[in-house]
Amino acid sequence: MMRSLIIILLSLLLSACNSAKASVIVGAEQTERYLPQLEGKRVAVLANHTARVGEQHLVDMLVSRGVNLVGIVSPEHGFRGTADAGEKVASGVDSATGVAIWSLYSAAGRRLTDSQMEAFDIMLVDMQDVGLRFYTYYITMIDVISRCADFSRKVIVLDRPNPNGMYVDGPILDMRLKSGVGALPIPVVHGLTLGEIATMAVGEGWIKRADVEVVTCRNYTHNTRYTLPIAPSPNLKSQRSIYLYPSTCLFEGTVCSLGRGTDSPFEMYGHPEMKDCSYTFTPRSRAGAKNPPLKDRLCYGVDLRDADCEAVIAAGFNLEYVIDAYHRTELGEKFFTPFFDKLTGVEYIRTMILEGKSASEIRSRWQADLTHFKTLRKKYLLYAE
């Protein structure tokens, strides 16, 4: 009896170890869970260059399987993921498949038209998100889900891991500051996958109630260190930049450069007038950063390219970089632009920095709201923590 019990325990332990070592299988790769639902249906996909099924793009795979694909909805940076942040991208036709591309970042607006909605029966969603409130892919997704609710169209989210899903941090969006970089009352680092955000947004009544199904990932937990196989947008070129992004993206709302127009955007920060800095860089025009802030100007700053990734994760939503640059430039209120409050989602961070408060003092301000959000979030988790 004891021998049998030991064998069973060893078997369970071995199984757990093998599961921990198993590679993540994303939703799109589990074709048996969604292809049967597409038979005889007109299908549209909200996707970009990150929608890969092994070595093949989701769109190419669907067409090769005989799916009646009638439209490709493209988010910020375009279907191919090469456009600058916020750049207008025209609708068109995918040259590889002949399928129409409906750009939601075109001059025509960011809403699917009635005729486009009438053209399909089911919407697939597949994009690699990075888990930040100001990263726009989730905003495009919830807007599309709301349109699908209006037309009684089903949405299937092919989920992917959140590379910043191991923690939750930052202030909750003050909905008076709702914008194109913040659409839901969630913290800067929300710790949710796109599938979980969709479920939470519908469940909490933040968007219209819709028929949403999530094809979950396998072998993934929120503590998984998931290395992205492909850059999710032109200026997130490394895993370190993705970990630094929650904190260094705040420089988009200041007079400083965060390295757009260099080889390592989001892994540095600087300004021509930053004092006591030996590191220098000069932003240049390049693909994905055609007109970067402080273009062609020599910047003095701080190099984060050797920052330890686990230390960056442990620091969470870190205001110390912005506070450091604020003091070194000695520009006072001129250091900030109106975009800063939209990124942080609150006004008090800028105000407290101007008052000379420390990062830890400011951090204490959002803790009560964050605790409430973490409790609410647990209702919608599809993966273990």
The string of DSSP codes covering 101-169 is EEETTBTTBSS--HHHHHT-SEEEEE----SBTT-THHHHHHHHHHHHHHTT-EEEEE----TTTT--E
Cβ neighbours of residue 342 closer than 8 Å, sequence gap 6 or more: 134, 177, 179, 181, 182, 253
Beta bridge partners of 143: none
Contact 240, 227 (CB under 8 A): no
What confidence score (pLDDT) does residue 86 get? 57
Of 15, 22, 81, 26, residue with least CA distance to 48? 81
Read out DSSP for 5-73?
A: HHHHHHHHHHHHHHHHHSPPB-GGG-GGGTHHHHTTSEEEEEE-TT-EETTEEHHHHHHHTT-EEEEEE
Predicted TM-score (pTM) of this structure: 0.91
Q: Among candidates 86, 66, 67, 64, which has minimal Cα distance to 75? A: 86
Closest to 97 measured CA to CA, from 128, 55, 64, 135: 64
Cβ-Cβ contacts under 8 Å for 126 (sequence gap 6 or more)? 27, 28, 45, 46, 47, 50, 51, 58, 157, 158, 160
Cα diameter, the chain: 76
Q: What CATH number has the domain spanning 27-228?
A: 3.40.50.12170
Residue 72 to residue 348: CA distance in whole angstroms: 40
Whether 302 and 322 have beta carbons less than 8 Å apart is answered as: no
235 close to 245: Cβ distance less than 8 angstroms:
no
- H or E element at residue 281: strand 279-281
Nearest CA-CA partner of 259 in 270, 243, 245:
270
Whole-Å CA distances, 383 to 191, 220, 316: 11, 7, 21
pLDDT at 79: 81
In three-state secondary structure terms, 92 is strand
Tokens representing 158?
A: 């092919």
**Residue 46, beta-bridge partner list:** 73, 125
Sorted by where each begins, the domain ranges of the chain are 27-228, 239-354
3-class DSSP state for residue 304? Answer: coil
Q: Which two tokens stand for residue 5?
A: 């019990």
**Rounded alpha-carbon distances, angstroms, from residue 145 to 2, 151, 212:** 55, 10, 8
Segment-wise mean pLDDT, segments of 10 residues, the chain, 385 residues = 41 40 92 98 96 95 98 84 60 89 80 96 98 96 97 98 98 98 98 98 97 98 96 96 98 98 98 95 94 98 98 98 98 98 98 98 98 98 97
